[in-house]
Structure 1
């Protein structure tokens, strides 16, 4: 009996050493590749930190539809709005790193929140595996079609003459920081009103609940075509082909307010590299599809793509830049 027990122990130890040797000899990459080959074997959740109808939600649904078609499993968009996308971002940071919970994270959550909040329940650079930039875009300064202003100069003059009616909509740190910079540059006495998505922001602008909003391009196009929104200026360096009659901020008299934001796809840190690589390749191919590019361009956003490393480098470069901008403007959100 004792000998059999001893033999069993020796067998277990030998088996363990054999497995360790196999891993050291390249077994782990082989296992990871096998895991990627089987991925996905169930639905994928794509978390968005804002409500339906906003720019990130629209982009997430475009990518989700194509991923579903290409991977043979549903990619389901799940909205978790609140706290400037902090709730959704934390959720994904703490999710199982298996490729089945992803995040559409934007400039606000990933690079501006670290600049304007003293503490966050996630670390952008530590807690996520970047996959790809989905799109980049400027912001549009919008008012409702019935608003009593038709230019940026008229908007600023109106807010100064009617401070009780001077307010702006915001759903994220990115929009808030951009709007606060606009206030600093123009002296417009605007007060912030918070919403859960850029879609809700635009609904409020159209309905006259708020006077104006600096908002991402994706959800604006439909309102402009329907005649519900008037765009007064754009934060890009040059005019947009989709809005050729809209002046840049500089042209409208507000220098030093060039802002370009982005949305990207992320997995939790420690997600197997083979799975991240597979998703990176799929998203890159999706963003090359003519119908996807046409749809994105029609919304005034530029398709992303490129290696995941570019997204990681962008985050590393932007956090100190936004921190410096927020400090210079004395903007802190907690």
Structure 2
């Protein structure tokens, strides 16, 4: 009978080759399947604001749409504090860059090293996954407030220096800084009040415990008739509010560009970063997500991680100049 077994040297080589294969391949699973195994468990998405604000329904709708493409749940974790900086900052020092922890990024995080002593740098200590949408900032008052226009508000502020309260989320947001710049140019002084989130601020505004609110997320309140929009920090008038002038049209040349995106800890595998980017790109077309953007008057603005990282570096330099203009001294 002919011995059909491999010659001993070939058998040895075959056994060595088999031992070198991953366990999954040895069990008969294709190697390609292993590369596609990520994500194998739910992903945590840190939202650095309290529940109940405008970010909550927008990011939740986006996460639900992206989870369908990824095949795993994306779980929102609210970590408010520090004007929306603390939650995102938490992943800057994480050692695990495995794609299972993401965070919402916004300009206050980029600005943070310029206003306080911190142990991380937004230009180096994050992986920028993608840019998601644009925050649209307006100047709002309660529907029954006495001011009908921005000039009305400024004229009253001149009569009562420091008596009119102006709220923003956080003490170091772009909206707070721009409001300070506007006040200086107009020759007035507002009592600036920081809030933890938009929900808390709108409650105070509608209850007349706050006079002015100058942050994004006003759409639902304006549409519901509880808030009056005096002006917007946009380049052109908003299509939904054609009768509301821009701040620029009143003679104050301020336009706030304030994108929101996703970041991961530094050192993320580029393949995982690309997988996340594409999942969220697809999710940005989801009808439920787009409806939420419209409801809260946010702007569309998806861009890839490379473009968002370039924006962050350039914005850091712009923040240096803006803070110098208002004479801000770091803590």
Give the TM-score normalised by structure 2: 0.84
Of 229, 232, 235, the match for 2:233: 235
Query: What is the aligned partner in structure 2 of residue 279 from structure 1?
Result: 276
Partners of 1:160 and 1:130 in 2: CA distance? 43
Question: In proportion to residue count, which structure has more helix?
Answer: 1
- Shift in Å, 1:327: 0.4
CA contact (8 A) 2:132 2:303 kept: no
CA deviation map 1:123-163 (0-9, x unaligned): 10111111111101331011111211111011112223234
Query: What is the aligned partner in structure 1 of residue 78 from structure 2?
Result: 79
Q: 1:186 and 2:178 equivalent? A: no
Query: What is the aligned partner in structure 2 of residue 260 from structure 1?
Result: 257
- Shift in Å, 1:35: 6.6
Partners of 2:301 and 2:249 in 1: CA distance? 27
Query: What is the aligned partner in structure 1 of residue 122 from structure 2?
Result: 124
Q: SS in structure 1 opposite 2:215?
A: strand
CA deviation map 1:13-50 (0-9, x unaligned): xx9xxx9xx9xxxxxxxxx9877621222221111111
- Shift in Å, 1:298: 4.1
Q: Which has the larger radius of gyration?
A: 2
Query: What is the aligned partner in structure 2 of residue 315 from structure 1?
Result: 312
Structure 1 gap segments, 5+ residues each:
1-14, 23-31
CA deviation map 1:258-292 (0-9, x unaligned): 11211001111012111111000111111133443
Query: What is the aligned partner in structure 2 of residue 28 from structure 1?
Result: none
Query: What is the aligned partner in structure 1 of residue 103 from structure 2?
Result: 103
Structure 2 gap segments, 5+ residues each:
1-15, 22-30
Distance change (3 Å), C-alpha of 1:211 and 1:333 = farther
Partners of 2:56 and 2:285 in 1: CA distance? 20
Partners of 1:55 and 1:226 in 2: CA distance? 14
- Shift in Å, 1:199: 2.3
Partners of 2:47 and 2:33 in 1: CA distance? 29
Query: What is the aligned partner in structure 1 of residue 324 from structure 2?
Result: 327
- Shift in Å, 1:234: 0.5
Query: What is the aligned partner in structure 2 of residue 167 from structure 1?
Result: 165
- Shift in Å, 1:67: 1.9
**Aligned pairs for 1:1-334 within 5 A:** 37-95=36-94, 96-110=96-110, 112-114=111-113, 116-163=114-161, 165-172=163-170, 173-174=172-173, 175-216=175-216, 219-254=217-252, 256-332=253-329, 334=331
Partners of 1:33 and 1:186 in 2: CA distance? 63
CA contact (8 A) 2:61 2:288 kept: no
Q: SS in structure 2 opposite 1:85?
A: coil
Give the TM-score normalised by structure 1: 0.84
Partners of 2:35 and 2:106 in 1: CA distance? 26
What RMSD over aligned residues (CA atoms) do the two structures have, in Å? 2.3
After superposing the two structures, state which structure 1 stretch, 233-242 or 294-303, moved more.
294-303
- Shift in Å, 1:322: 1.5
Q: SS in structure 1 opposite 2:213?
A: strand
